[in-house]
Amino acid sequence: MANIHQSIAELVGKTPLLQLNGYSKAKNLKANIIAKLEYFNPNQSVKDRIALAMVETAEKEGKLKKGDTIIELTSGNTGVGLAAIAAAKGYPFRVYIQDQVSKERFQVIHAFGGKTVKLSEVPEIVESFEKNGPDFIECVKALERHVAGEKNLWFADQTRNPANPNVHFHTTGPEIWNDIDGKVDAFVACVGTGGTLSGVGNFLKSKNPNVKIFGVQPTEDSFQSAERPDQEEITGVHPFENTKEEYIPANLDRKVYDGYFEVHTDQAYEAARLLAKKDGVLVGASSGAALYAATQLAQREEFKGKNIVVLLPDTGLRYLSTHLFQAE
């Protein structure tokens, strides 16, 4: 029987698990690190899941109609996913994107027919930066002020849209559980919008309350500042602990995780480079951050012989213009 798909939307999800044998051997780890390879999604990141879910939920609820323009504020991967889904479904798409993300993200969004607007080009967001610093949640509020009054717009709003964690609860979490036959002891993921950690974490704990859930955030010195103007950041990963309450994304369930790790950009890069050399898996900076955190967990005596699943969000092909794969 023929197996021909009719839309790219049908290709989202069902990504594989891979045990990282080469990396684990090189690091002499006591636990098993098993990676959820989200770059197997059609546009090579975990954000394909939420892009499709947010759009189709909005269509069903009558919030997104033919002729509307989809808009979003993103560090890149959600923009790529939404640009592809918008193209496939016939919607115009406009993304407001961080200036410092890799040029590959801009290029891919343009290839899908999307329009990109740098955050530095939006007066309300520039004002927010000056007042609050480069906080993603405050940027969302500034963008809402900027587009207020425009008609025929639908703002995906990944930080607050419940379709984000819901799709991970109903797809990503069950995929992990089923593929590992329920033998998961810990789950590690970076926090951007909080959707992945919350959705997967809540699903896994609904199956086994003893599964340990760990989030990952950047160290404070991973961000650009007056003292570090050239610092490359871990794109798409944001603080959720030891920060102001109003800066924490609404989609993050603060009760779901048992602990968290802080990772510097250099540590994330180190892990991603070693993974490429030892297992032939090319991933981006946020994946490197999640893997570095999972490595710290795997070195603990209480996780000896246990299965640690780490979600690797995207491909390294979107980082070739950064220092991630240029430093050696």
Which residue out of 36, 45, 47, 128 is catalytically annotated? 47
Segments in the chain below pLDDT 70: 134, 224-226, 327-328
Burial of 26 (0-12, 13-18, 19+ CB in 10 A): middle
Q: In this predicted structure, what is the pLDDT of residue 234?
A: 86
Radius of gyration (C-alpha) of the chain in whole angstroms: 19
Q: Are strands 212-218 and 259-263 parallel, antiparallel or unpaired?
A: parallel
CB neighbours of 107 closer than 8 A, spacing ≥ 6? none
Phi-psi group of 29: left, alpha or beta (phi > 0 → left; psi -120 to 50 → alpha; rest → beta): beta
CB-based burial, 50-60: b 16+ in 10 Å, e otherwise: bbbbbbbbbbe
Residue 234: CA atoms inside 13 Å, Cβ hemisphere, count?
Answer: 34
Please give the C-alpha separations between residue 223 and each of 99, 188, 228, in angstroms, as whole numbers.
13, 22, 8
Q: In this predicted structure, what is the pLDDT of residue 299?
A: 97
> What CA–CA distance (Å, rounded) separates 217 from 234?
9
Q: In this predicted structure, what is the pLDDT of residue 295?
A: 98
Which residue out of 24, 222, 286, 287 is catalytically annotated? 286
Go through the domains of the chain in sequence order and give each one's CATH number: 8-45+165-319 (3.40.50.1100), 47-155 (3.40.50.1100)
What is the pTM for the complete model shown? 0.94
User: Number of helices (H) and strands (E), helices first, in the chain?
Assistant: 11, 10
- Does 47 qualify as catalytic in the annotation? yes
Q: Are strands 259-263 and 115-118 parallel, antiparallel or unpaired?
A: unpaired
- Does 278 qualify as catalytic in the annotation? no
Phi, psi of 59 (to 5 degrees): -65, -45
Describe the strand order of the beta sheet including 69-74 as a list of residue ranges. Answer: 115-118, 93-97, 69-74, 153-155
**CB 115: neighbour CB atoms within 10 A?**
14
3-state class of 190 per DSSP? strand
Length of the chain, in residues:
328
Q: Which helix (H) or strand (E) holds 154?
A: strand 153-155
